[in-house]
Amino acid sequence: MNRQQRSASLARREAYARLQAQLARPGWISEGYVQDRGRGAGGACYPWTRKVKGKTVCVALSQQQYEWLKDAIANWRTVQKTLRHMQRLSREELFESLPHPKRRKQLSKQVLGLV
């Protein structure tokens, strides 16, 4: 491994450590979708929808539940985004720092999951 590769590997490790620290403090998390339909809407003003076993489930919420769940869903999306970034960094480290078999043509970044 040359100096430039070591430098890139160190930068990936530092970025990965920062992402790990972010995962240590996400707060409450939940999946799904909430919306504020307003008072004039027919039916629930604060519905929460999510998928359960392939079926869409909808639950009516109070305003306080809506506010709490809105933050929990935002936290869940942040966790998912952080995990995707960590996966990409892991694959970069794998394919750029370890030996691999000889190939007739170079694999694209899309095939390697780096895009």
Q: What are the pLDDT digits (tens) for 56-96?
A: 999 999 999 999 999 999 999 999 999 999 999 998 888 88
**What's the whole-number mean pLDDT along residues 109-114?**
76
- The predicted-structure confidence for 14-64, as pLDDT tens digits, reads as follows 999 999 999 988 899 999 999 998 876 666 789 999 999 999 999 999 999
Residue 5 has pLDDT above 90, yes or no: no
60 phi/psi in degrees, rounded to 5? -80, 140
Residue 114 near residue 84, CB atoms below 8 Å: no
Q: How far is CA 6 from CA 1, 29, 38, 53, 85, in A?
A: 6, 36, 55, 45, 20
Cα–Cα nearest to 95, from 106, 105, 84, 85: 106
Tell how far CA 42 is from the center of its chain. 34
Q: Look at residue 31 in the predicted model and tell me its pLDDT.
A: 94
Break the chain into its structural domains and give their ranges: 3-97
